[in-house]
């Protein structure tokens, strides 16, 4: 069995390559039971969330039981980690042979998650962001932020990456690291002003109160909501939902787990039929993406086990 580190995941993947891998994965599908979602309560701090995310090759759809894989991701999200300088998300990915169950690889799940999450956002943006989108606003300066900047920059002609964060010093660190790679990244000071100028707003925070005020968005903006993963969490307000055509990664996940979707559905601000499409429908050409340059689009992801499976297989094949 291979043990694959974060650095090796970085060697194995490219942003355009993984976007195309995910496009194929969502089009073809996989078996992915609803993920286990457990709260690990403790008396002296915020509860951690333990997620168990299995997926495996759909042999019935593939028509043969050769060549498949089974994968399971174990992830924790511990909000208090930020205060001690650690990322909130930790994880491991185990890839098994699809027929025999033989272990194939144990992969750094944190890094695999960063790659596949950013590339799922970029995949959505390939249908939903304007082709000429050049100004990217990243909200949050955690582990995902630089991956989102790189992934969106791989799919659209980004000329300016603005990074806004609750703690500006952390935004400066991310911007400096991106500049060192040649990306045109700078810290954003005034979030409200930035929202009115961005072509793509990509948000990955642990916020429970909306940071994105929809009234401030300009026509043509694409909003990419990555952070919220419980019904209580929210990164955008109702105005954003009302003004946008709304898309999700998977209908089952987003309508159950994402406060940005669950709360407006509960209040009636968003009707279930107003969720235009998920990534399966977009990649299969069953539903349309952006319809015009003036439209505001909004994509909400909570993550799908088939993304981990597809990314894990891509890493394993590149390195074995």
The residues that touch ligand NDP, with contacts defined as CB under 6 A, are 77, 82, 87-89, 113, 117, 140-145, 165-167, 170, 204-207, 226-227, 229, 301-303
Rounded to whole angstroms, the Cα distance separating 309 from 153 reads: 24
Nearer to ligand NDP, 98 or 223 (CB): 223
Nearer to ligand NDP, 68 or 137 (CB): 137
Shortest distance, CB of residue 120 to ligand NDP, whole angstroms?
A: 6
Tokens of 12: 């194995």
Q: Which tokens belong to 90?
A: 């930790």
Q: How far is the CB of 231 from ligand NDP (least distance, A)?
A: 13
In the bound state with ligand NDP, the residue whose beta carbon lies nearer, of 143 and 223, is: 143
In the block, which residue shows the tokens 């993963």? Answer: 229
Are 259 and 228 within 8 A, CB to CB? yes
Distance between CA atoms of residues 82 and 7, nearest Å: 22
Residue closer to ligand NDP (CB basis): 14 or 208? 208
By C-alpha distance, which of 259, 224, 258, 273 is closest to 123? 224
Going by C-alpha positions, the residue among 155, 169, 164 that lies closest to residue 185 is: 164
Give the burial string for 200-227 (b: 16+ CB within 10 Å, else e).
bbbbbbbbeebbbbbebbeebbbbbbbb
Q: Determine the Cα–Cα distance for residues 192 and 29; give it in Å rounded to an integer.
A: 39
As measured in angstroms, the least distance from the Cβ of 226 to ligand NDP is: 4
Q: How near is the Cβ of 39 to ligand NDP at its closest, in Å?
A: 14
106-110 long-range CB contacts below 8 Å, 24 or more apart?
106/1, 106/2, 106/3, 106/4, 107/4, 107/9, 107/312, 107/315, 107/316, 108/4, 108/5, 108/6, 108/8, 108/9, 109/73, 109/74, 109/75, 109/308, 110/6, 110/143
Residue with tokens 């297989």: 313
What is the closest distance, in whole angstroms, from the C-beta atom of residue 98 to ligand NDP in the complex?
Answer: 24
Instruction: Between 94 and 204, name the residue whose CB sits nearer to ligand NDP.
Output: 204
Least spacing, CB of residue 91 vs ligand NDP, in Å: 9
Q: In Å, how far are 153, 154, 270, 315 from 246, measured between CA atoms?
A: 22, 23, 9, 31
Q: CB of 243: closest distance to ligand NDP in angstroms?
A: 22
CB of 207 to ligand NDP, least distance (A): 4
Residue nearest to ligand NDP (CB): 142
Smaller CB separation from ligand NDP, 12 or 305:
305
Nearer to ligand NDP, 88 or 122 (CB): 88
Name which of 68 and 71 has its Cβ closer to ligand NDP. Answer: 71
């Amino acid at each position: 069995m291979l043990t694959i580190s974060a650095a090796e995941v970085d060697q194995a993947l490219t942003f355009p390559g993984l976007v195309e891998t995910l496009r194929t994965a969502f089009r073809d599908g996989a078996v992915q039971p609803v993920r286990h979602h457990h709260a690990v309560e403790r008396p002296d701090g915020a509860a951690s969330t333990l997620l168990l995310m299995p997926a495996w090759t759909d042999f019935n759809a593939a028509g043969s039981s050769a060549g498949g894989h089974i994968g399971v991701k174990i992830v924790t999200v511990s909000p208090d980690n930020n205060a001690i300088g650690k990322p909130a998300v930790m994880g491991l990915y185990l890839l098994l042979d699809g027929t025999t169950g033989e272990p194939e690889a144990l992969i750094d799940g944190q890094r695999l998650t960063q790659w596949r999450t950013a590339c799922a956002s970029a995949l959505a943006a390939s249908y939903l962001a304007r082709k000429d989108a050049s100004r990217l606003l990243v909200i949050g300066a955690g582990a995902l932020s630089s991956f989102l900047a790189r992934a969106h920059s791989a799919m659209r002609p980004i000329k300016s990456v603005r990074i806004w964060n609750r703690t500006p010093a952390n935004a400066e660190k991310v911007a400096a690291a991106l500049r060192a790679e040649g990306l045109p990244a700078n810290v954003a000071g005034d979030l409200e002003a930035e929202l009115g100028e961005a072509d793509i707003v990509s948000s990955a925070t642990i916020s429970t109160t909306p940071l994105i005020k929809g009234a401030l968005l300009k026509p043509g903006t694409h909003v990419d909501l990555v952070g919220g993963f419980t019904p209580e969490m929210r990164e955008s307000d109702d105005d954003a939902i009302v003004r946008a055509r709304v898309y999700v990664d998977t209908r089952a996940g987003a309508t159950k787990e994402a406060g940005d979707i669950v709360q407006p559905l509960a209040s009636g601000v968003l009707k279930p039929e107003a969720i235009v499409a998920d990534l399966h429908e977009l990649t299969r050409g069953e539903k349309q993406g952006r319809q015009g340059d003036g439209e505001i689009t909004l994509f909400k992801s909570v993550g799908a086990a088939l993304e981990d499976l597809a990314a894990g297989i891509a890493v394993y094949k590149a390195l074995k």
